[in-house]
Structure 1
Amino acid sequence: MLFGKLLPREGNFFEMFNQHAERIVEAARAFSQLVANYNDPHLREQYNRDVDNAERAADRVTHDVNRMIHQTFITPIDRDQIHTLINTMDDVADLIQDSAETLALYDVRQVNEEITRLTDLSVKCCERVKDAVALISKLADPASAEAALKTCEEIDRLESDADRVMRSAMSKLFREEPDVREVIKMKAIYELLETITDKCEDVANVIEGIVLENS
């Protein structure tokens, strides 16, 4: 009994989820600006730093949440759900940073319409993740639980849109690009960008499970 009193009964997990989701959106928007201003080396470097800063901040939140799981006697939702949610969210931030780094590492000279469209869909997915995460603390309210599920469905639709854009981009790439090196390079970038939306869908699936078990 004394042991239970010595440990926190509930950490501020919901607030930390929200903080992480905000960092994901910051990273996604910074990456979008990087793509939009790709022809300006100075702006590109600035937005690349912004992506890195947001990803590092997200990492710190992830570390704090994982540490708090072990320090908290009673958690507001299942421990495995907390662990899976925060680490899947962190994967999203990592993928955004990877995308920014890959553009530089592969020496991409200019971005095309397909990269821009995939980036826009990634930003929208990340924003919807933030909206869904904000509702987790309100699942006792049926309207909030329903709103969370609808937001997750929207993330699924956005992921499907990104999948279609990637397939179209791949088809165009293999039909029209004669340089094999360019094909390899752009194929990797398209796949990486589409994986951001895939991982957002994974976050949505975790949230759906939390909603169904706790509402």
Structure 2
Amino acid sequence: MLFGKLLPREGNFFELFDQHGQHIVEGSRAFLRMVENYANLTDRERLAAEVIDAEHAADKITAEVNRLLHTTFITPIDREQIHGLINAMDDILDLLQDTTETLSLYDVRRMTEETLSLSQLSARCCERVQHAVNLLPKLSQHTAVEAALKACEEIDQLESEADRVMRSAMSKLFREEQDVRELIKMKAVYEMLETVTDRCEDVANLIEGIVLENS
């Protein structure tokens, strides 16, 4: 009993979730701006660095959440939910960083309309993730519950749209691209960007479960 009293009863998990969500939005917006300004090498390199900085900042928050899980006696929601959510959120930025680095490693020199569309959808998904996460401490309010579930539904819709865009992009790529190397490069980029929305959907599914169990 004394041991339990000495341990913190509740860490600032919701605040850390929100901070992580803000970094996700920062990273996704930087990636989108990079795609929009890809022809400008200086802007491209600066914005790529912003994506990587956002991922590193989020990594620190993930580490802090996992540390708190070992030192907090009573958590605001189930420990497995906390662990699953923060790691699923971290996967989003990891993938954005991987995509950023792939563009450089593969020496991708031009952006397609499909790349821009997928980047826009990814950024919108990330904004919805941050919005849903921000509502978690307010689940005692019916309006917050409805708003969180709506955000999750919107993420699902955006993921479906990204899947449609990717299928169309792949079809166009294999029909029109004559350079095999370019085909391989862009195929990888399309798949990674669509997977960003998949990871956002994973987070939405976790948040939906948390909302339903704790409201």
TM-score range, shorter chain: over 0.9
Partner deviation per Cα, 1:52-100 (whole Å, 9 max, x = no partner): 1100000000000000001000000000000000000000010111111
Taking the aligned partners of 1:112 and 1:157, their CA distance within structure 2 comes to 23
Taking the aligned partners of 2:19 and 2:157, their CA distance within structure 1 comes to 25
Paired residues for 1:81-160 under 5 Å: 81-160=81-160
Q: 2:166 maps to what in 1? A: 166
CA shift for structure 1 position 183: 1.2
Taking the aligned partners of 1:18 and 1:127, their CA distance within structure 2 comes to 11
Q: 2:16 maps to what in 1? A: 16
Instruction: Say how many residue pairs are matched.
Output: 215
Partner deviation per Cα, 1:138-186 (whole Å, 9 max, x = no partner): 1111111111001100000000000000000000000111111111111
Taking the aligned partners of 2:185 and 2:43, their CA distance within structure 1 comes to 23
Taking the aligned partners of 2:33 and 2:142, their CA distance within structure 1 comes to 37
Q: 1:76 maps to what in 2? A: 76
Taking the aligned partners of 1:150 and 1:42, their CA distance within structure 2 comes to 39
Structure 1 unaligned spans of 5+: none
| TM-score after normalising by structure 2 | 0.99
Q: 2:183 maps to what in 1? A: 183
- Of all paired residues, the percent bearing the same amino acid is 67
RMSD: 0.5
Aligned residue for 1:75, secondary structure, equals: coil
Structure 2 unaligned spans of 5+: none
Q: Which one-letter code corresponds to 1:162 in the other structure?
A: A
